[in-house]
Amino acid sequence: MHWTINPSPRAAGSVTVPGDKSITHRAVMLGALAIGESIIENYLPSEDCMRTVQAFESMGVRIDTTGRFLRIWGNGMNALTVPAGGIDAGNSGTTVRLLSGILASRPFSSRICGDKSLSLRPMKRIIEPLRLMGARITAIEDNYLPLDISGTGMLKPVAYVSPVASAQVKSCVLFAGLAAAGITSVEEPVKSRDHTERLLAACGADISVDGNRVAVRGPARLNPLTLTVPADISSAAFFMVLGLVAKTGWIELRDVGINPTRDGILEVLNNMGARIRLNSRRNLSGEPVAMIAVEPSILKATEISAAIMPRLIDEVPIVVLAATQAQGVTVISGASELRVKESDRIKTIAAELGAMGAHIEERPDGLVIHGPVKLHGATVRSHGDHRIAMTLAIAGCIAEGTTVINDVGCVDTSFPGFLETLQGLL
Ligand code: S3P
């Protein structure tokens, strides 16, 4: 499947992007582990999140996805049954890494596989801490899918110091800790997104946070959740940048999650001189949200380094596009994690925006972008990566001539309806 994008000098309108992907995954998982009925409003019905739903359905959990609300009837962790035929996580890293923490303590064997891209992504980062807790896991080269997890029934608590700032690793260990008798803790070099901590607290788990260290006491009995998921800031980011680089117009994004562990994009765009305002701030089911308003802006280059990366990582491709329109040289460093995302995003964004005329140098741990440049239409491809596809679509809106983006089916992993929302703003 491909998209054809023609330039549009104007971008205007008010939109609500779909619900947060990270929160939806966690809400499904915790709802399945809780005892009782969980009701999740504004969940993200994307392919990635449906992989998590299907995994729990295959373990005997009743889940209704037919209405506006996602309903989950959990019977507790001990009620999960052997997933018939194994679990296919598709393209979803969050499904594999978080689910492994749950499966590690189940008294049955299970296998998780995934698509070609997911099968190239490192799993050692979760295998190591889970083994320290007594889990039995095998993987190709001890690192790649499929993962075979043979249940132990009981795990040991651990005080894990993670070498990477990763919410997936942190959440995996905390989920495993729910079934270990005693206190399991995870400490990370920089604080990663904290949705798991917020939701565990909402479920009544005994959880404590001290700086970059989070601890949970097991065994835990979880209460069901009733929550409304904020709009995903990672999806909103594409339209923030569209509103800034358009020639005329304005864009408003409603009820966007602005959790301080996710808001690096706001800081970076502010540093670049963006005309961006946050209004109507409120709390939505334990997460801060706001209406984000952007207007066309004269952007200037900025420097982005390791400290902000956990708060920014998924937004780097669209920041690179903004930097191609900014005055000066933008330097992004400390971002080597980008190489192990749905594609090697350092390489793919440099190559594809490069094909549209951008001046981008690749570095082992980042990118150097020379701006501003006038982009031109080209035939480009997503490399199977949703965030690369959406970045290229926004690039197409400001390029001269027609842009054809190949292999865009992957966008449904995080943002079904992206193209229609984009067209509604042009
Ligand atoms: C996610 C964490 C991040 C992020 C990913 C979603 C999550 O990955 O890039 O898109 O929901 O926990 P890492 O934990 O690998 O940094």
Cis peptide before 45 (omega within 30 of 0): no
Residue 49 C-beta-side C-alpha neighbours within 13 Å:
25
φ and ψ of 96, to 5 deg: -60, -50
Using the atom order of ligand 1, give the atom closest to the CA of residue 170.
14
Q: Are 343 and 302 in contact (CB under 8 A)?
A: no
Q: Are 227 and 40 in contact (CB under 8 A)?
A: yes
Using the atom order of ligand 1, give the atom closest to the CA of residue 25.
11
419: left (phi over 0), alpha (psi -120 to 50) or beta: alpha
Q: How close is the Cα of 171 to the center of ligand 1, in Å?
A: 10
Using the atom order of ligand 1, give the atom closest to the CA of residue 164.
16
Q: How close is the Cα of 235 to the center of ligand 1, in Å?
A: 14
Using the atom order of ligand 1, give the atom closest to the CA of residue 21.
11
Q: Three-class SS of residue 57?
A: helix
**Catalytic annotation on 115?**
no
The pLDDT tens digits along the chain (426 residues) read 999 999 999 999 999 999 999 999 999 999 999 999 999 999 999 999 999 999 999 999 999 999 889 999 999 999 999 998 899 999 999 999 999 999 999 999 999 999 999 999 999 999 999 999 999 999 999 999 999 999 787 899 999 999 999 999 999 999 999 999 999 999 999 999 999 999 999 999 999 999 999 999 999 999 999 999 999 999 999 999 999 999 999 999 999 999 999 999 999 999 999 999 999 999 999 999 999 999 999 999 999 999 999 999 999 999 999 999 999 999 999 999 999 999 999 999 999 999 999 999 999 999 999 999 999 999 999 999 999 999 999 999 999 999 999 999 999 999 999 999 999 999
φ and ψ of 283, to 5 deg: -100, 130
Nearest CA to ligand 1 atom 10: 314
Sheet strand arrangement including 248-257: 10-15, 248-257, 287-295, 275-284
How many residues in the chain?
426
Which pLDDT does position 67 carry in this prediction? 85
Nearest CA to ligand 1 atom 15: 166
Nearest CA to ligand 1 atom 11: 22
Per-residue exposure over 135-158, b if at least 16 CB sit within 10 Å of its own CB, e if not: bebebeeeebbbbbbbbbeebebb
Choose one of 20, 21, 22 to mutate for the ligand 1 pocket test, by most ligand atoms within 8 angstroms of C-beta. Answer: 22
Nearest CA to ligand 1 atom 9: 314
User: Which amino acids bring their CB within 6 angstroms of ligand 1?
Assistant: 22, 94, 166-168, 171, 192-193, 313-314
Q: How close is the Cα of 6 to the center of ligand 1, in Å?
A: 32
Query: Do the domains at 2-19+230-423 and 21-228 have one common CATH topology?
Result: yes
Q: Three-class SS of residue 47?
A: helix
Q: How close is the Cα of 208 to the center of ligand 1, in Å?
A: 21
Which of the following is catalytic: 314, 344, 407, 412?
314
Using the atom order of ligand 1, give the atom closest to the CA of residue 166.
14
Residue 296 C-beta-side C-alpha neighbours within 13 Å:
10
- Per domain, the residue ranges of the chain are 2-19+230-423, 21-228
Q: How close is the Cα of 247 to the center of ligand 1, in Å?
A: 33
- CATH architecture classification, 2-19+230-423: Alpha-beta prism (3.65)
Q: How close is the Cα of 192 to the center of ligand 1, in Å?
A: 8
| Angle ∠(8,13,14) on CA atoms, nearest 5 | 145
Using the atom order of ligand 1, give the atom closest to the CA of residue 98.
12
Choose one of 21, 24, 29, 94 to mutate for the ligand 1 pocket test, by most ligand atoms within 8 angstroms of C-beta. Answer: 94
Q: Compute the distance between CA of residue 37 and CA of residue 39 in angstroms, rounded to an integer.
A: 7
Q: How close is the Cα of 166 to the center of ligand 1, in Å?
A: 6
CATH of 21-228, one of 3.40.1050.10, 3.40.50.10860, 3.65.10.10, 3.10.20.30: 3.65.10.10
